[in-house]
Amino acid sequence: MTPYQPQPNPERRARCREKPVDGQAFKGFVEAGLTWLRTHQEVVNNLNVFPIPDGDTGTNMVLTLQDAYKEIETLAEHHLGKVAQALAQGALLGARGNSGVILSQILRGFAKAVADRETLDAESFARGLALARDTAYKGVVKPVEGTILTVIRFMADAAQKALEEGKDLVDMLEAVVIAGHEAVERTPEMLDVLREAGVVDAGGKGLFFFVEGMLRYVDGLPLDRPVVEVVPLTALDVEVQEELIEPGQDFEVVVDFRPGSNFDLAAFYERLQEMGTAIQVGEGEGMYRMHIHVPLDRRYEPIEYIMGLGTVLKVHMENLQAQLEEQRQEAGEATARYSLANVEPGQIAVVAVAPGPGIAQAFANLGAAAIVEGGQTMNPSVQDFLKALDPLPTDKVVLLPNNKNIILAAQEVQGFTVRDVRVVPSRTVPQGLAAMVAFEPDMDLDDAVEAMTDAMQEVRSGQITRATRSVELDGVQVWEGQYIAILDEKLVLAADDLEEALMGLLDAADAEEYELLTLFYGADLDASTAHALADKARKAYPDLEVELQYGGQPHYAFILSLE
C-alpha cells in the first residue's frame, strides 16, 4: 500500500488557522473539492469492475456536487449551518446514481450535525463527519464494506482520533485525507470483485478526491491541472453532456494522431490544459485520440499543436451548442414517435427510465405515462424524476429505474413529493418491461407493485458490449476490444465477434428452455447486421420465438430478454 504524502504549506496553513471558516469560507472548500473531483472525473469513471465502456461514477458524483454547489454559489449567507443545509438540499435533488445518492446522504448528515454552527472548527468537523457516516450507512438497506461507506467511516474515525489528540481543523483535515487514502487502497481487500478486477472502489475514490481537494485548497496546490491519464480508445467517452460544458468552451475538437518518438505525455497534457477543458486521451490501434473543448478563437490550436508532435490521421470538430441543439431535437422527435398512456385521476401512472428511443417506445406501448431518458453513463437525477411527475394528474405513481445504479435515486423521490410514489426495483430494461406486462392502471397500488415485482423475476437479462480493458473476471479471461456477454449481471464469456458473443450468451442462458427472445439492438449497430444475427438465433433455436426491435441504446450492441 502506497502511503499518502501530504504537501503542506506552513504559511498558508497558518493563515487558514487565523481565519474562521464561516459559510462563505466553507463555499471555498466545497468549490475546491468539486474542482479537484472534476479534474479526476475520468479517473474515477474508469474504475469499472466490468470492463465496459460506461463507467459513470465520476460523472455522477460531479453532477451531484455541481447541483449542490449551484445552491450556494451566489448565497450571501455567512452562517455555516445554513450554507451546509442549502448544499445538502441541492445534492439531494441533483443526486445521480448510487454514488451520487450516497454522497448526498453524506452531505445531509454533515449539514444536520452543524446546523446550529456559525463557523466550522475541529469539534464540529468531527461531529459532522460522524453523522455523515451514520446517515450514509442508514441510507443503504444492506451496507457493504469496501465501498464509499468504508471510506467515510475511516474519515470519521480519523477525525474523532484527531479531536481526541487535540488537533486543530487543518491538521484534522489532513488526517482525514490520509485515512481516506488508506481506506480506498484497502477496498480490494474487502470486496472480492474489486480484487479480481484489479481496481479500487470508484465511489470511495471519488469521495477521497473531493476531500483531498479541500486540503489542496488550504495548501494552495493546483486544482484544475489534468491528470496524466490515458484510457483505451474503446473507453473514451466523448458524448456531450450539457451539464458538463464549461462557459466559453464553444467547440469540441477530436484528433486521431500517431506521435513521434519523442512524445512526452505529461508535457502534452500540460500544453492542452492551457488551451481548453474536458481533456481526454485514448490509446489503441497504434494511435492516440485527443478530445478537448476550446473557445471559438482557439478551435484550430490543438490541431496545429498536434501536427508538430507526429502524424495527424483524422480530425473531427463540432460546435457544441449546435450539437446539443441537435440532440434536443432528436430527443423531441424520438418522443413524438410514441404515444404515452393517458392517465386519469385515481389511476396509477408508471414512470420508466429508458436508455434509447426504441426502448422508450416499448415502455410507452405497454402503458408508461412518462419516460425519463437515462441508463448507463446517463443516470437521471432525483430532480429529473420529479420533473417527469409534475404533469401527471394522479397521486399514485410507480417508478421503474431499469438499472441497478438508478434505484437509489428513484427511492429518494419519495421524500420530495406528497404523491404516493413506489419504486419497483427493476435492475435491467428486460425486468422493467416484464413488470409492465403485469401492470394495469386501475389496480390497487399495493397489488400493482407486488404483481410488477413478481413479474420482473421471471425474465433473464443479457447485454453485449465491447471490453475496454484486459482482465480476468468471474473466471472469464477478457482482452481489450473483445465482445463480452453479461447474463443477469454476471460476465459469462468473451468473444472475438458479435455472432460468437450472441450465440454464446444464448447457450449460457439455456435459451432452448424459454419461449420468447427479445433483442433490442443498439444505436451503433446497423439494422441489416442485427436482422442477420436474429436469423442466426432463429435457426439455432427453432422452437424459440425471436423478436428484434430497435433499442437505440448507446454502448451495447444488444440488450436482450428471455421469457
DSSP state letters, 40-87: THHHHHT--SS--S---HHHHHHHHHHHHHHTTTT-----HHHHHHHH
> Chain-wide mean pLDDT for the chain?
90
Q: Which three cell numbers stand for residue 528?
A: 441489416
Q: Categorize the per-residue pLDDT at 234 as very low, low, confident or very high, splitting at 50, 70 and 90.
A: low
Please say if the pLDDT value at position 204 is more than 80.
Answer: yes
According to the model, what pLDDT value does residue 324 have? 66
Give the CA-trace dihedral at 152, 92, 54, 365, to 10 degrees: 140
pLDDT in tens, 6-38: 999 999 999 999 999 999 999 999 999 999 998
Say yes or no to pLDDT of 196 above 60.
yes
Tens of pLDDT, residues 58-69: 889 999 999 999
Looking at domain 337-456, which of 3.30.43.10, 3.30.2320.80, 3.40.50.510, 3.90.1170.50 is its CATH number?
Answer: 3.40.50.510
- Burial class from Cβ neighbours inside 10 Å (0-12, 13-18, 19+) for residue 10 reads exposed
**Better-scored residue on pLDDT, 205 or 467:** 205
238: pLDDT strictly greater than 60: no
Q: Is CATH 3.30.1180 the classification given to domain 460-562?
A: yes
Task: Reduce the DSSP state of residue 391 to 3 states and report it.
Answer: coil
pLDDT band at 46 (very low <50, low <70, confident <90, very high): confident
What residue spans define the domains of the chain? 10-219, 231-325, 337-456, 460-562
Least confident of 109-118, 325-334, 349-358: 325-334
Phi-psi region of 337 (alpha: psi -120 to 50; beta: other; left: phi over 0): alpha
**In what helix (H) or strand (E) does residue 355 lie, and over which residues does it extend?**
none
Q: Which CATH number fits domain 10-219: 1.50.10.10, 1.25.40.340, 3.40.50.11720, 1.10.1840.10?
A: 1.25.40.340
Q: How confident is the model at residue 225 (pLDDT cuts 50, 70, 90)?
A: low
Higher-confidence residue of 234 and 430: namely 430
Fold for domain 231-325? Alpha-Beta Plaits (3.30.70)
Q: Predicted confidence band at 245 (pLDDT cuts at 50, 70, 90)?
A: low
Task: Identify the pLDDT of residue 228.
Answer: 55
Confidence at residue 103, expressed as pLDDT on a 0 to 100 scale:
96
Quote the CA–CA distance of 69 and 333 in Å, as a whole number: 33
Q: What does the pLDDT look like over 550-561, one tens digit per residue?
A: 999 988 999 999
Sheet with 277-284: strands ordered across: 231-232, 277-284, 287-294, 251-259, 310-319
All cell numbers assigned to 204: 470511495
Coil, strand, or helix at residue 331? helix
- What is the signed CA dihedral for 534, 540, 543, 549, rounded to 10 degrees? -10
The DSSP output letter for 140 is S
Same fold, 10-219 and 231-325: no
What's the confidence (pLDDT) of residue 276? Answer: 86
pLDDT in tens, 180-190: 999 999 999 99
In 3D space, the residue among 102, 38, 30, 40 whose CA is nearest the CA of residue 71 turns out to be 30
**pLDDT level of residue 231 (50, 70, 90 thresholds):** low
Cα 189 from Cα 69, distance rounded (Å): 34
What pLDDT is attached to residue 47? 85
The C-alpha cell at 323 is 450539437
Strand partners, 291: 254, 280
In this predicted structure, the answer to whether residue 459 has a pLDDT above a threshold of 60 is: yes
Asked if pLDDT for residue 94 goes beyond 70, the answer is yes
